[in-house]
Structure 1
């Protein structure tokens, strides 16, 4: 293996260790030594990839977002072109990712709010990514709304915020409400917009 490959492998080990440590104990209860112990690496190798703990947390956070986004897109496309099934599949992929791995839920919706390293560009970037994913989905579902791209963009941002706040409440309640109830609540906004656009199309036709 080349030096770069070995460095990348060590970085991945540290990210995996970060997911386990931060997701289990919380960012503020974990030290660099804890991460290195979990990764079975010396501190020298930690500082080879990251200047401080916040940088590792940011890498873990972005990795989790990428993974969830990939799962959502794959789930949605498997159910195309049935709109209701696409909505259910995408939202289920998100909610299942949170419920099935509480580490993910804790990092995305508890510690991410508290770790100042994420504030500003990183949080904005992550929201923008999901806004774009929803925007692309809406363009597939409503191909006749191409002239209303600015409105669709606003709706995508609104849907993102709506679902994120429901998911955050669910996570913070320790998944108290039944999965189906949470899924239905998330779905209603999508279905309502779909019905509204259908009515609009019929009235214009």
Structure 2
């Protein structure tokens, strides 16, 4: 994670990984067939941390609302969205390497990584739909809405990451993509989608 999350996947060779870890290349190849498989493992590790933070934040809201065994009241949804999304975003902010791996380094590397990344997007969408549908079966329209929300959240966070390190232009710098603003916007998007499609 250190190397992929600071120097970038394309700049990190197996030799560099082994030198950083103090291991021989033979040991590396006993654990992973290639760098792509290592990147997949690092990515999955980062996603697992972000998912745990998201679920923990959501669970805390649900517990405070006293609805652990029943549907979440509509009045609690804005708080649930804000806290759950905050848990996710904070898990990226607290470790910029994790953010870079999840948002930047895995994109377009290899077909198997792309499949893993798209699978994670659908898993996030299922999580969102599960919270929003309150245990009811999810309709195709709701599933599409949840995937769209994940796409929007992901793109805004990709832009936030790029704004910190390599903005695409002067207008797309850190002043526009402040993490608190991104959090506020994606929360409002979630609540609006809930009201329109899930509520």
With the length of structure 1 as denominator, give the TM-score of the two structures: 0.78
Aligned to 1:165: 155
Query: Aligned match of 1:36 in 18, 22, 25?
Result: 18
Work out the CA distance in 1 between the residues paired with 2:158 and 2:187: 16
1:121 Cα shift?
Answer: 2.3
RCO (CA 8 Å, sep 6+): is it higher in 1 or 2?
Answer: 2
Residue 157 to residue 102, structure 1, CA distance change in 2 (3 Å): same
**Residue 110 (structure 2) pairs with residue 156 (structure 1):** no
Aligned to 1:53: 35
> What SS does the corresponding residue of 1:173 show, helix, strand or coil?
helix
Query: Aligned match of 2:81 in 78, 87, 95?
Result: 87
Structure 1 consecutive aligned stretches of length 4 or more whose deviation exceeds 6 Å: none
1:59 Cα shift?
Answer: 0.8
Q: Cα deviation per residue 1:60-82 (whole Å; 9 max; x = unaligned)?
A: 01111111111101111101143
Aligned to 1:127: 121
* Aligned 8 A contact 2:106 2:114 in 1: no
Larger radius of gyration: 1
Aligned to 2:196: 196
* Aligned 8 A contact 1:23 1:102 in 2: yes
Q: Cα deviation per residue 1:82-130 (whole Å; 9 max; x = unaligned)?
A: 3222111111112212222111121122221141254442122111211
Higher mean C-alpha deviation, range 170-179 or range 73-82:
170-179
Q: Cα deviation per residue 1:5-58 (whole Å; 9 max; x = unaligned)?
A: xxxxxxxxxxxxxx0111111111111121112222211110001111111011
With the length of structure 2 as denominator, give the TM-score of the two structures: 0.80
* Aligned 8 A contact 1:109 1:168 in 2: yes
Work out the CA distance in 2 between the residues paired with 1:184 and 1:83: 14
Between structures 1 and 2, the one with greater helix share: 1
Aligned to 1:99: 93
* Aligned 8 A contact 1:112 1:118 in 2: no
Unmatched segments (≥5 aa) in structure 2: 66-75, 165-172
Size of the alignment, in residue pairs? Answer: 177
Please give the residue correspondences for 1:4-43 in structure 2 after superposition, counting only pairs within 5 Å.
19-43=1-25
Work out the CA distance in 2 between the residues paired with 1:113 and 1:147: 31
* Aligned 8 A contact 2:160 2:179 in 1: no
**Residue 62 (structure 2) pairs with residue 68 (structure 1):** no
- Root-mean-square deviation (CA, aligned residues, Å) is 2.1
